[in-house]
Amino acid sequence: MPRRLTQGWNINGISRFSTGFPVAIRQTRGDFSLAGSSSTDEPNLVGPVVTQDPRKAGPNGANTYFLPGAFTSEVLGTFGTANWRFFHGPGIFNTDMGIAKRIPITETMAIEIRGEFFDVFNRTQFSQPNGNFSSSLFGVITSTRDPHIGQVSGKLCPLRQPD
């Protein structure tokens, strides 16, 4: 096999593994706390927050990240007992990769061909679940991060990089 095909390849990649962002829990229907604004209201926490894999259908249907049964509406004239951001949403597990090859075409010039692929393992990366207790989608994830995509490019460049 010719050296021109087998040599000069560069492969790179980056992986990101992290916990999700804190889930903002709030109750926006009405001013239950009588504080003059519904943006300060939180529901009551009455049990442990049980999270589940949103890829699997749970007791509350598909894409449910946490079970809303751990919360109840706050009592009129009081503040709810749930903290605003006390647990995290789904984590991020993502790997991006690239491959490049320089092909000499003259003594001073080369063509560089590059392929870049994002989320190479094509694993769904979920966004935050709905944290509004007043919503029918409370605890449900309704969107995802960017999907598995790729791009290919080429450019004319000097054969050797300057020292």
Q: Residue 152: is its pLDDT beyond 90?
A: yes
- Counting the structural domains of the chain, the total is 1
| Residue span of the structural domain in which 77 resides | 3-158
Q: Is 38 helix (H, G, I), strand (E, B) or coil?
A: helix
Strand partners, 9: 101
Of 156 and 146, more confident: 156
In a domain, 163, yes or no: no
CA torsion, ordered 137, 139, 145, 148, to nearest 10 deg:
-100
Cα–Cα distance measured from residue 57 to residue 131, given in angstroms and rounded to the nearest whole number = 19
pLDDT digits (tens, 9 = 90+) for 87-136: 889 998 999 999 999 888 888 898 999 999 999 988 888 999 998 888 88
pTM flag (> 0.75): no
Cβ contact 73:62 at 8 Å? no
Q: Residue 140: is its pLDDT beyond 70?
A: yes
Q: What is the mean pLDDT of residues 30-55?
A: 77
Cβ contact 159:107 at 8 Å? yes
